[in-house]
Amino acid sequence: MSTVDVLTHLSGDPEISAIGLHIESVEEGEALLSAVRTVSATKPIVAIVVGRSDVSAFAASHTGALATSWRTTRALLAQAGAVVVDSETELVDALAALSRTRLPARANPGIGVVTAQAGPGLTLLDHLLAYGIPVPALTSGTQARLGELLPPMTFQANPVDTGRPGPGFAEVLAATAADPGIDALAVYALAEPDAVDLADAVHRSGISGRLPVLLGVGGPATAVSEIASAADELDIPVLPGPSAVGTAIRALVLDAKARYLNIADGDRDPVDAPSIALPADEAAAKDLLDLLGIATPPRRACADRAAAHRALGELPTPVAVKILDPAVLHKTEIGGVHLNVRTAEELDQALHALDVVGAPAYLVESMAAPGVDLFLGVRRDPVFGLIVVAGLGGTAAEAIGDVAIRGHHLTPAGAAAMLDDLQCAPLLDGWRGGPVLDRTEFARIALALTAYRTDHPEIGDLEINPLRLTAAGLVALDAVIVARPASLVLEGELS
């Protein structure tokens, strides 16, 4: 019985409220992702993927399955709707929450935090903010109400620090949960039975039926067990510490965001571009990008030096002068790119250098404005089929490895959000006065490339690198289109 069979069976079992998935390797990637998409729409899935280090040989000997990239597997499972965690402890904490409660599909759910002790509250807040979980400031009306309930020295904006909890704890929970920016509530307190009955306070607040509530409790085992038992009767998840609460809240948020991003949100722009002759050089690849509505710099493909000199006189300067050869994929590595060429003398020097490396033709192209270099490509993964890869671009892209990966089942909202995965994401939002990425336009480009590659299985990889973010928008500075081996096309494998 396969993983897909088990998922399908568990999805139909009314006694199962959430599913834990342990992935060592994957044989039929598309079938697995399809099952995760289907099941997670109605029943949450939490997944852990083995293989961060190179354990592929052991995994293959253990399962006989074809191993694929650990990073790719995690990214595609998350896109399909699974909450992907890093450890068995996180798996347990996430399932403890999702087996009892679930957020509605939301783009960015806001979390309210109520704590009875500042130290654990700071630990919980730090955990949430480190993973980009929104903890929005409460409205002035909510803070005014909390000011009536709490001592004046307590923090009341979110997190809400109650000090030592007392009889008004239930009212504090109710006021925080009623704030319009709050979609779920994380509550942490040490067990102090003589001060407050935590489970009863949540019950009296009336909030557990209106939005997800997670309760974290610390203290002596006997006292914690009593609170957990009472909370269990109310179907409230109880976690053992602030970090565990943070993990559980993050699972709720990721689950809600994945379902939101998987909702079809409008028709995609039609892609109507002809087949391209392969192998294709950079000029032909950019001609295709033009047809797909992707901006490229003004350029001339030049068969000889005379044509190159005419191009220099016709194009805005400075120009880049490049080798034009479909067999050369990494032009900079062989000295095939010369930048900031302005004069006829500089052009002759560049052309001579290109002749030395055997250039059959030249590309003369106006240089783009400065900006942030990204890459965007569509390629075929041996396990999962077509995948979309984007990240920090330029000549150091492979060394840096700051990438976001998605499958070809990509909605416009999902494509617009994928760059948020990158460590360099702040560079795309006007960092130090720099350009701001139009994520809707990026999504349009990503979907256009994906649709074209889907319609043309004769293509192997289709990549833009760099795709430069400038003040005027995104511009494709280089493009590579590689033919797929004919044997794979003829065998009819998944494109």
State the pLDDT at residue 401: 75
Q: What is the pLDDT of residues 387-438, one digit of tens each?
A: 999 999 876 666 677 899 999 989 999 999 999 999 999 999 999 899 999 9
Mean pLDDT check: name the lowest of 271-275, 339-343, 462-466.
271-275
State the pLDDT at residue 269: 61
- Report the number of distinct structural domains present in the chain: 4
Residue 134 lies in a domain: yes
Give me the percent of the chain exceeding a pLDDT of 90: 75
Q: What is the pLDDT of residues 231-248, one digit of tens each?
A: 999 899 999 999 999 999
State the pLDDT at residue 130: 93
Residue 275 lies in a domain: no
Tell me 383's DSSP state. Answer: T
Residue 93 lies in a domain: no
Q: Which of 186, 257, 244, 243 is nearest to 421 (CA)?
A: 257
Domain coverage including residue 33: 3-86
233, 261, 289 - which closes a domain: 261
Q: Are residues 408 and 325 in the same domain?
A: no
Q: What is the pLDDT of residues 374-401, one digit of tens each?
A: 999 999 998 999 999 999 987 666 667 7
Task: Supply the CATH number for residue 320's domain.
Answer: 3.30.1490.20
Q: Are residues 121 and 180 in the same domain?
A: yes
Q: Are residues 130 and 81 in the same domain?
A: no
User: Structure tokens of 55?
Assistant: 């354990």
Give me the percent of the chain exceeding a pLDDT of 70: 92
Q: What is the mean pLDDT of the chain?
A: 90
Helix (H) or strand (E) holding 116: none
Q: Are residues 339 and 390 in the same domain?
A: no
pLDDT at 65 exceeding the cut of 50: no
> Does residue 301 or residue 52 have the better pLDDT?
301
Task: Supply the CATH number for residue 434's domain.
Answer: 3.30.470.20
Q: What is the pLDDT of residues 11-63, one digit of tens each?
A: 999 999 999 999 988 888 999 999 999 999 999 999 999 877 644 443 443 33
Q: Are residues 385 and 459 in the same domain?
A: yes
Per-residue confidence at 486, pLDDT binned at 50, 70, 90?
Answer: low
Q: Are residues 125 and 234 in the same domain?
A: yes
Q: What is the pLDDT of residues 111-166, one digit of tens each?
A: 999 998 888 889 999 999 999 999 999 999 999 999 999 988 789 999 999 887 77
**What is the phi/psi pair of residue 60, to 5°?**
-65, -40
Per-residue confidence at 311, pLDDT binned at 50, 70, 90?
Answer: very high
State the pLDDT at residue 397: 65
Q: Are residues 146 and 251 in the same domain?
A: yes
Q: Are residues 126 and 72 in the same domain?
A: no
User: Structure tokens of 150?
Assistant: 């709490």
How far apart CA 418 and CA 27 sit, in angstroms, is 25
State the pLDDT at residue 405: 94
Residue 222 lies in a domain: yes
State the pLDDT at residue 400: 72
The string over 392-422, giving b where at least 16 C-beta atoms fall within 10 Å of a residue's C-beta and e elsewhere, is bbbeebeeeebbbbbbbbbbbbbbbbbbebb
Model confidence, pTM:
0.90
Q: Are residues 141 and 246 in the same domain?
A: yes
Residue 127 lies in a domain: yes
For the residues of 5-19, what is the DSSP string, one character each? Answer: HHHHHHHT-TT---E
Q: Are residues 130 and 187 in the same domain?
A: yes
Residue 102 lies in a domain: no
Q: Are residues 184 and 72 in the same domain?
A: no
- What's the rounded mean pLDDT across residues 447-473? 95
User: Under 8 Å CB-to-CB from 61, ≥6 apart: which residues?
Assistant: none
Task: Supply the CATH number for residue 192's domain.
Answer: 3.40.50.261
User: Under 8 Å CB-to-CB from 70, ≥6 apart: which residues?
Assistant: 49, 50, 51, 52
State the pLDDT at residue 26: 87
Q: Are residues 176 and 249 in the same domain?
A: yes
Residue 292 lies in a domain: no
Residue 126 lies in a domain: yes
